[in-house]
Amino acid sequence: MKVVLQDLVKQYPSSSSIAVNHVNLTIENGELAVFLGPSGCGKTTTMRIIAGLETPDSGHVFIGERDVTDLASKDRRVAMVFQNFSMYPSMTVYENIAFPLQVLKLSKDEIDRQVKEAAGLVGVGHLLQRSSRQVSGGEAQRVALARSMVRRPEVFLMDEPLSSLDAKLRIQMRTEIKRLHQETGTTIVFVTHDQEEAMSLGDKIVVMDHGNVQQVGTPQEVFFNPRNVFVANFVGTPTMNMFDGTVKPNGGGLCVDLAGIELKLPERFPGASTGMPVKWGVRPESVKLVDDGQPGDVPGTIELIEALGSRQQVFVRAADKLFSAMIDALHPVRVGENVHLRFDHRGTHLFNAQTGLSLAEPH
Ligand SMILES: Nc1ncnc2c1ncn2[C@@H]1O[C@H](COP(=O)(O)OP(=O)(O)O)[C@@H](O)[C@H]1O
Ligand SMILES: [Mg+2]
């Protein structure tokens, strides 16, 4: 089912800041949308409003074509999975999954069919007769998914369901949620503060900060075309290099003066004008290290090297600034070495320092 949030506002009486600030959003039927943002940005509150567990101060929630704003949670056909799922310890895995169906007073055969189908989809079919005490954290999380699935929700809400799992299991479960989504076609809203998890899962990423939606786009859009400084800094690991500067004339075009470094600006930034205070950024993946400098390259000295498997992150000091570059692990480098930085201009970004907004032309 399609989910539409229309001008949602929520402020907790005990809190001075707004948890959800005029949020407008459309999640298409069958889409996997990810809410991404730092702790406290309003992700859980927005989810709880969709689920009907929290009442907005103003605004509307539509599921399908229906305005559900005043509808009780149980009548919304949404299922919510939380970070810390607990099973009923005295029950078997089977009984845990069957529980919501027993409440609905379905026949034994029908319950059996639905439990097995849901368990099979999340890969816990072989655990059904186990006691809840005998399953691992990852298995418990799958049981949680199966238990919410048997209610046949039209919308799945998952609030950081993987964050209590260890790194390896988290990546495995990510794949399974993606498969679950493909096989059921159910609309899923998934919350995380982990940008890598968001990028790997989402059809659509909703970047939030301080109750505001900062950008909505595909993983590629928010990575390659961040619309403001917040999104540019929050999305991508390692973080984008970003420095303050001023736009200046340069020949027939423009350059950015980063106090000690002058860089010609490509024509992609029609919003830039002479004298404007800006923030200039480049992703570490778009910084190359070259031995022989050409005009436009920036000389610097290697200060620190971090090995990261197939890649290495190299920190280079240039004109009092520290740049990070992500390069191939086999590229020979050593601390103290003099190098030149070369920026792939497709990976560079420019923002108005006052508004924080991107000066790049929209793609
Ligand atoms: N029950 C509550 N009472 C008061 N303030 C709350 C409550 N729940 C959340 N908040 C506040 O609302 C803001 C958004 O919180 P939340 O939606 O939990 O963010 P997130 O899930 O992104 O971490 C935060 O400032 C938080 O402190
Ligand atoms: Mg939360």
* Strand order from edge to edge, sheet including 78-81: 78-81, 155-159, 187-192, 32-36, 204-209, 212-217
**Hey, what CATH topology would domain 241-352 get?**
OB fold (Dihydrolipoamide Acetyltransferase, E2P) (2.40.50)
Ligand index nearest the alpha carbon of residue 48: 1
The model carries a pTM of 0.90
Bridge pairing between strands 155-159 and 78-81: parallel
Q: Residue 56 has what pLDDT?
A: 97
Q: How far is the CA of 40 from the centre of ligand 2 (A)?
A: 7
Q: Calculate ∠ Cα 105-111-112, nearest 5°.
A: 155
Q: Considering every ligand atom, which ligand is closest to the CA of 211?
A: 1
Could you give the residue range(s) of every CATH 3.40.50.300 domain in the chain? 3-234
Spans in the chain with pLDDT lower than 70: 83-86, 362-363
Looking from the CA of residue 41, the nearest atom of ligand 1 is 22
Q: Which residues line ligand 1 (CB under 6 A)?
A: 12, 14-15, 17, 19, 37, 39-45
Query: Which residues make up the CATH 2.40.50.140 domain(s) of the chain?
Result: 241-352
Q: What are 187-225's pLDDT values in tens digits?
A: 999 999 999 999 999 999 999 999 999 999 999 999 999
- The atom number, within ligand 1, closest to the CA of 208 reads 22
Atom nearest to 20 CA in ligand 1: 14
Looking at domain 3-234, does it have CATH number 3.40.50.300?
yes
Q: How far is the CA of 6 from the centre of ligand 1 (A)?
A: 20
pLDDT of residue 101: 87
Residues 6+ apart with CB under 8 A from 347: 282, 283, 285, 286, 287
